Amino acid sequence: METLNRLAHVFNTNLILSIGVVPVLMCVALAVFWGKRAEFSWHAIQNTSTTLLIGVLNYGVALLFYKEISGFIQSVYDALRIPTLPEDFWVGMPLLAVALIGIVAKDFVDYWNHRLMHTKWAWPTHAAHHSDTHVNAFSTFRVHALEAILMTSSYIFLLTWLQMPNAIPLVLMLTALHNMYVHMDLPYEHGPLKYLIASPVFHRWHHADAPEAYGKNLANHMPLWDRLFGTYYAPGRCEAPMGALASGVEDKNPIAIYAYPAFAWARLIRDEWTAHPELAGKFKEMGPANIEARMRESARNRGNNRGDGLRP
């Protein structure tokens, strides 16, 4: 078990291995053993290059704002005073068993995060992940910084109480490898285990650019959550196109994908403004000009009450 933990540490700390070598090997395996030559098509290379460039943009955001973001999250966490299990709670239990408990807990949080991000106002943070029109192992890493911040914050607030730091490296490695696996174009559905371990077919429907599949199959690792909460969708092999082009999300332009949340929220606000004209009146009343006019009117009334008037 110590060897497995060391392997997890190497995997998690070596970016070249975890987001380079491993997904490349998965793509090679698809091409060689399953005849998926499209894994190295120009379309696939363009999409994968876009994914990597989005990763570079995320790295830039981290360099610029990590201190401020982490400081804010830490201050909120400290203010909440979340109770935790005793530090020795898991002592004596096999590390793999603790890691499996951690994976179940993480996936439950991920399910509700994911469900939130498939709502109208939160969708722009998640759209980048769905923008890939050639879904493969690299698609795991196509995530906008806003989504990464949301997910990381949820883990800190909702999972740290479990007090299992020794299992975290193993949890991260196993979930990352499984995430890459389910993004591969493979025909597997996992038979009797299909509710316990997410399959490539299950997750491919989640990425399908087809209205009947929107907001379905939200669990990352355990489809049981979808079965329990009414979002399970399994009509068989998925031949639908991938991506979110029908929703207006580009697939091969990293700048457009990265800017999508700002433009999407601007459209949503405009649409709400148009649909509810009464809001415009309220905002107009709250505007600086009206506030100044009300202040002047109030002062004039006070002056009139004193009998000395007020100069306009």
The overall pTM is greater than 0.85 = yes
Q: Residues 117, 79: one domain?
A: yes
Q: Residues 240, 142: one domain?
A: yes
Amino acid 255: pLDDT: 97
Mean pLDDT of 194-218: 97
Q: Is residue 17 part of a domain?
A: yes
250 CA to centre of own chain: 17
Confidence of residue 312 (pLDDT cuts 50, 70, 90): very low
Q: For the chain, report the end-to-end CA distance as a whole number of angstroms.
A: 82
Residue 226: pLDDT over 90:
yes
Q: Residues 152, 95: one domain?
A: yes
Confidence of residue 285 (pLDDT cuts 50, 70, 90): low
Nearest Cα to Cα of residue 137 among 182, 75, 94, 93: 182
Q: Is residue 130 part of a domain?
A: yes
- Cα separation, 286 vs 280, in Å, equals 10
Q: Which bin fits 39, alpha (ψ -120 to 50), beta or left (φ > 0)?
A: alpha
Task: Give the number of domains in the chain.
Answer: 2
- 272, 159 contact by CB (below 8 A): no
Contacts of 205 (CB under 8 A, 6+ apart): 213, 216, 217, 233, 234, 235, 238, 240
Residue 289: pLDDT over 90:
no
Q: Residues 234, 119: one domain?
A: yes
Mean pLDDT computed over every residue of the chain? 91
- Cα separation, 283 vs 294, in Å, equals 15
Q: Residues 299, 235: one domain?
A: no
Amino acid 308: pLDDT: 38
Residue 253 has a CB neighbour count (10 Å cut-off) of: 15
Amino acid 299: pLDDT: 56
- 150, 125 contact by CB (below 8 A): yes
Amino acid 307: pLDDT: 36
- Cα separation, 285 vs 294, in Å, equals 10
Q: pLDDT tens digit string along 77-115? A: 999 999 999 999 999 999 999 999 999 999 999 999 999
**Structural domain harbouring 198:** 2-270
Amino acid 62: pLDDT: 94
Q: pLDDT tens digit string along 111-152? A: 999 999 999 999 999 999 999 999 999 999 999 999 999 999
